[in-house]
Amino acid sequence: MRSVFVLVLVLLAALPVGATPAQVQRYFRDLRSLQAEFTQRVYDEKARVVQSASGQMWMQKPGKFRWNYQAPAKQIIVADGERLWSYDVDLAQITVRKLDKALGSTPLALLSGAAPIEDSFTVDNARGEDGLTWYDLTPKQPQPEFRLLRVAFKGELLVALELEDGFGQRTRLDFQKLERNPELDADLLKFAPPAGVDVVGDSG
């Protein structure tokens, strides 16, 4: 089963319908922060749902975000600008890595503001499907965890995102109550391990 960490590989935006790739690039450069509720589903190569989850997310450039998974299991993933913390509440275990190693060249680097979109992706023009406007973002360099990212908008609002891997498995995130460039509480983007919880990795 795919780790929920992979599901943080997201490209979030609220682009006007008919935006060109150049406008997509400008949007990411202007993006400062986001917050939203989300529902997540993982589909196998036969389009069957094999995993589902829901929760809330917050993001602030550069290099900070928080994902609170509420169902079916509680998990908290926090990037504080220096390290990436993943806290499995039920298992009472935390894994931590330095952020630059965790980001690498994945879409996390784009989300955190570490890399311009045009350095990492080819952005295809918009197309209409199921009443939504979709953009395909293809990585310029082969990636082990995914081959294609799709983002969908209804009007000027982001409503869904899909990540497809090389085996035909898709992860879809549907967003509700998304806000672009809100003022975020700084404490949301910090993480302090609770007492008595095992910490594995580089926390020094």
pLDDT of residue 10: 41
Distance CA 26, CA 161 (A): 19
Average pLDDT over residues 140-156: 74
Main-chain dihedrals φ then ψ at residue 173, nearest 5 degrees:
-115, 125
Average pLDDT over residues 84-109: 78
Distance of CA 96 to the CA centre of its chain: 18
Would you say residue 21 has pLDDT above 60? no
Would you say how long the chain is, in residues? 204
Question: What's the CA dihedral at 62, 68, 74, 77 to 10 degrees?
Answer: 0
First CA to last CA distance, the chain: 30
When pLDDT is cut at 50, 70 and 90, the band that residue 11 belongs to is: very low
Contacts of 105 (CB under 8 A, 6+ apart): 115, 120, 141, 143
Identity of the amino acid at 47: A
Judge contact between 83 and 99, C-beta under 8 A. Answer: yes
Distance CA 41, CA 21 (A): 27
Q: Hey, how many other C-beta atoms are within 10 angstroms of the C-beta on 4?
A: 20
Architecture of domain 4-201: Clam (2.50)
DSSP secondary structure letter of residue 30:
H
Judge contact between 160 and 11, C-beta under 8 A. Answer: no
Judge contact between 62 and 13, C-beta under 8 A. Answer: no
Maximum alpha-carbon separation in the chain: 52
Judge contact between 59 and 33, C-beta under 8 A. Answer: yes
- Greater confidence (117 vs 43) lies with 43
Q: Hey, how many other C-beta atoms are within 10 angstroms of the C-beta on 15?
A: 20
Output the pTM of the full model.
Answer: 0.77
